[in-house]
Amino acid sequence: MNVNLYDFELPEQLIAQTPLLDRTASRLLTLNKESGEVNHHTFPDIIDFLQPGDTLVLNDTRVLPARLFGTKEDTGAKAEVLLLKNVEGDRWEALVKPGKKLKAGSVIVFSDELRAVIDEEGEMGARLLTFSYDGIFQEILDRLGEMPLPPYIRETLDDRERYQTVYAKHEGSAAAPTAGLHFTEELLNRIRDKGVNVAFITLHVGLGTFRPMSVDNVEEHVMHEEYYSLSQETADLINETKKRGNRIFAVGTTSCRTLETVGSKFEDGQLQESSGWTKIFIYPGYTFKVIDGMLTNFHLPKSTLVMLVSALAGREQIMHAYEEAIKEQYRFFSFGDAMLIY
C-alpha cells in the first residue's frame, strides 16, 4: 500500500496557529462509518451522538514543558534539547539542536542548577542524556522548560495550560493528546449526566507522531514506542459496556492505540489491567478489537494518524471527509476542529 494514497492538498491558512478562547467553540464534522454520511456541527453537539451506557475513553497524560535552551559548556554555543521520554532515573531520550555539534561527551548548561551530559547517540537522531541538578528536577523543568509545540505551530502560546487537557494528570508527554483539548469540565459533566461513562487511560505521547513517514510502502513503516497504562477500573468499565452491547468511543488516536494494544493481549475480549510500551501501527486492513468510534482532530497528509482513522472508517470515506473539511474551511491539526467517527 503506497503512502501517497493518503496525501492531500492542505492550504496553509487552515493550520490553526492558536487555540480558541472557548475550548468547546470548535466545529465538529461527523462521519458515519457505515454510510459515509458527513455532517457539520459545533463541538457541544457531540453529546447528541452519545447514548446512555456508551463509554468515552480519554487519555489523561500531561505534557511536560520539555523544550530546554542552554549553551554548550566548552564553546558557549547555543543548544536546544527536547525531552522525549524518561529512560531511567535522570537519564532521558531527547532530540537536540544543532545535532551535528552535540555528540557523545558534550555537556550542556541550562542554568546554575541544571546541566546534562550526552551519553550516546540513539535512533533517528535522538540522544541519551543524563541530567545533574540542584533541587527537584520537575520543579526546575517547570521553571526553565517551554511547551514543545508541534513544528507547524509558529505562534507563541500565551497560556501553556491551553496545550493541556482539563483532565491532564500524569506527566510524561512530549505532545498533547489534542482531540481532548475540546472538552471542558462542564461539557464532561453534561455527558456524564446523560448516562455516558467517562473513563481514562494514560499514553505518554512521543514526537514520533509528527515525524513524516520515510518509506513509500505503508507496511514498511516502523512505529515509535510509547508508554501506556490502563487500570483495572477502566478495563472493567469497558468489559461491562461491551457486554451490554453499548459502544466504546476513543478520544484521540492515543486512546485508540492504547485500547487496541490492550485488546490484542486478551484474546477472550475481556480486558485486564495492563501497562507497558506499545508501537502498534494501525492502518487499513486492521480489525478493531475494542473501539466502535473515535473523536479525533484533522491530521497531516501521509501521516500514520490519517492511516489509523482510515482503518476505522475506510480510506475513501476519510479522504472525502477531509475534502469536505477543507472546502468548509475547518481548522486543522493540534488547535483545530474535530471529527467524530461513529
CATH number of the domain enclosing 78: 2.40.10.240
**Domain extent for 205:** 3-63+159-341
CA distances from 337 to 117, 132, 246, 300 (A): 41, 41, 26, 13
Identify whether residues 274 and 289 lie together within a single domain: yes
39 vs 248: CA distance, rounded Å: 21
Measure the CA–CA gap between 296 and 211, rounded to whole angstroms. Answer: 18
Torsion angle of alpha carbons 55, 261, 231, 340, nearest 10°? -20
pTM beyond 0.75: the answer is: yes
pLDDT at 31: 98
Residues 58 and 78 in one domain: no
The answer to whether position 233 is within a domain reads yes
Residue located via cell numbers 505534557: 63
**pLDDT value of residue 156:** 87
Query: What is the model's pLDDT at position 122?
Result: 83
Please indicate, yes or no, if residue 124 is contained in any of the structural domains.
Answer: yes
Do the Cβ atoms of 29 and 40 come closer than 8 Å?
yes
What single-letter DSSP state applies at residue 72?
E
Q: Note the pLDDT of residue 208.
A: 72
Q: Is residue 190 located within the same domain as residue 310?
A: yes
CA torsion, points 238, 276, 202, 270, in degrees to nearest 10? Answer: 0
C-alpha cell at 119: 551519553
In a domain, 25, yes or no: yes
Same domain, 236 and 297: yes
Residues 190 and 253 occupy one common structural domain: yes
Going from the C-alpha of 88 to that of each of 129, 260, 269, the distances in angstroms are: 11, 26, 33
Asked if the structure places residue 85 within a domain, the reply is yes
CATH number at residue 296: 3.40.1780.10
- Give pLDDT, residue 213: 77
Closest CA to 254 of 29, 58, 40, 28: 58
72 & 54 share domain? no
Query: How far is Cα 3 from Cα 283, in angstroms, rounded to an integer?
Result: 11
- Residue 30 confidence (pLDDT): 98
- Residue 163 in any domain: the answer is yes
Give the C-alpha separation, 232 to 336, whole Å: 33
**One domain for residues 110 and 190:** no
Say what the pLDDT of residue 224 is. 83
Q: Which three cell numbers, joined as nine digits, stand for 81?
A: 534539547
Same domain? For 27 and 80 the reply is no
> Does 154 map to a domain?
no
pLDDT of residue 123: 75
The grid coordinates of residue 263 equal 485488546
Please name the residue that has the C-alpha cell 452519545: 50
pLDDT at residue 209 in the model: 64
Cell 550516546 belongs to residue: 120
Question: Of 146, 180, 199, which one is at a domain's C-terminal end?
Answer: 146
Q: Total structural domains in the chain?
A: 2
Distances (CA, A) of 37 to 70, 338, 341, 342: 51, 16, 10, 10
Are 83 and 137 found together in one domain?
Answer: yes
For residues 74 and 199, membership in a common domain is answered with: no
Average pLDDT, consecutive stretches of 10 residues, N- to C-terminus, the chain (342 residues)? 95 97 98 98 98 98 96 97 92 93 96 97 88 96 93 89 97 94 98 98 84 83 92 98 98 98 94 97 97 97 95 98 98 98 98
The answer to whether residues 54 and 73 belong to one domain is no
